[in-house]
Amino acid sequence: MEWHAQVRSTNELAAAAAERGVPEIHAVLADVQTAGRGRRGRCWTAPPGSSLLMSLVVRPRADLAARGLLPLVTGLALVDALTALCPTLDVGLKWPNDLLVRERKAAGVLVEALPGGAVVVGCGVNVDWRGVDRGEALAAATSLAEAGCAVQRWDLLAALVPAFAGRYREWGRDPRGFLPEYRRRCRTLGLRVRVTDAGSGPLEGTALDVDQDGALLLADDAGNATRLVAGDVEGVRPV
Ligand code: BTN
């Protein structure tokens, strides 16, 4: 494990560590990121010291289709860790892997595959953002402390690493075994949603299921299903 005061991005540093040949599971953490990376090319910002910013280097042997499930596996590990720490906390997942606390985003996951087979699993968890002026871009986000789950970053680290390791090993043995539990935890299913950035114009419909490869099945109003492998989901009120 390495913990730094300030880095550009823990995912970036973890990629360099993977290239050096570190064994799995190697963790890279930081108090501050100056160029944190989010999903779909966005940047990820967090007030200094307020969040758990962690990237794990793993070297999975799973086939390509199963590798696509790793972000979902990681989301479920976040749910496991938080449920263990704060049993009464209202936690769930927004497809594919945003952690929701009281229906607001409290953590994100960015999984990046490297040439050579290693994978970097990046997690940013908003631990305590109380009193933080977060501007418009982060207005919808929340933190664990705001939801009454007052934990230190160390406690979260100590819960999350074993939770991830457990889910990761289980996934190595049985790549789709976690899916029933994922579906139970996925708040997107059954909702009317709008999906943007899915490779086409915005799509609206009912989120039916998550398939064996982690894709979201969306039914339009005529009952036709579309299979989405990526995208940004937001809930909409039924008309
Ligand atoms: C998302 O957009 O929801 C995913 C955000 C992932 C952010 C984390 S913070 C630690 C790690 N390092 C990065 O640069 N990104 C991930």
- Mean pLDDT score across all residues of the chain: 94
Average pLDDT score over residue span 35-50 = 93
Q: Is 57 within 8 Å of 25 (Cβ atoms)? A: yes
| Token pair for 15 | 């990629």
For the chain, what percent of residues have pLDDT higher than 90?
86
Return the pLDDT at 223: 87
Q: Record the tokens describing residue 83, joined without a space.
A: 């449920």
Q: 183: number of CA atoms within 13 Å, CB side?
A: 16
Per-residue pLDDT at 88: 95
Do 9 and 46 meet the contact criterion of CB atoms below 8 Å apart? no
Phi/psi class of residue 55: alpha, beta or left (left: φ > 0; alpha: ψ in -120 to 50)? beta
Residue range 108-152, pLDDT digits in tens: 999 999 999 999 999 999 999 998 887 887 888 999 999 999 999
DSSP symbols for 152-199: -HHHHHHHHHHHHHHHHHHHHH-TTTTHHHHHHHBTTTTSEEEEESSS
Q: For residues 158 and 5, what is the distance between their CA atoms, to the nearest angstrom?
A: 19
- pLDDT bin (cut points 50, 70, 90) of residue 237 is low
Ligand 1 binding pocket, CB closer than 6 Å: 9-11, 33, 36-39, 42, 44, 53-55, 98, 108-110, 122-124
The whole-angstrom separation of Cα 97 and Cα 28 is: 20
Tokens at residue 72, please?
């979902």
Could you identify the atom of ligand 1 that is nearest to the CA of residue 108? Answer: 3
Q: To test ligand 1's pocket by mutation, which of 29, 33, 37, 42 has the most ligand atoms within 8 angstroms of CB?
A: 37
Q: What is the mean pLDDT of residues 219-233?
A: 92
Give the list of residues 6+ apart from residue 96 with CB closer than 8 angstroms, or none: 71, 72, 75, 214, 216, 230
The atom number, within ligand 1, closest to the CA of 35 reads: 14
Token pair, residue 102, equals 């009281």
Model pLDDT for residues 50-72, shown as the tens digit of each residue: 999 999 999 999 888 899 999 99
The minimum-distance atom of ligand 1 relative to the CA of 9 is: 14
How would residue 199 be classed by pLDDT, with cut points 50, 70 and 90? confident
**pTM of structure:** 0.95
Euclidean distance between CA atoms 109 and 98, whole angstroms? 7
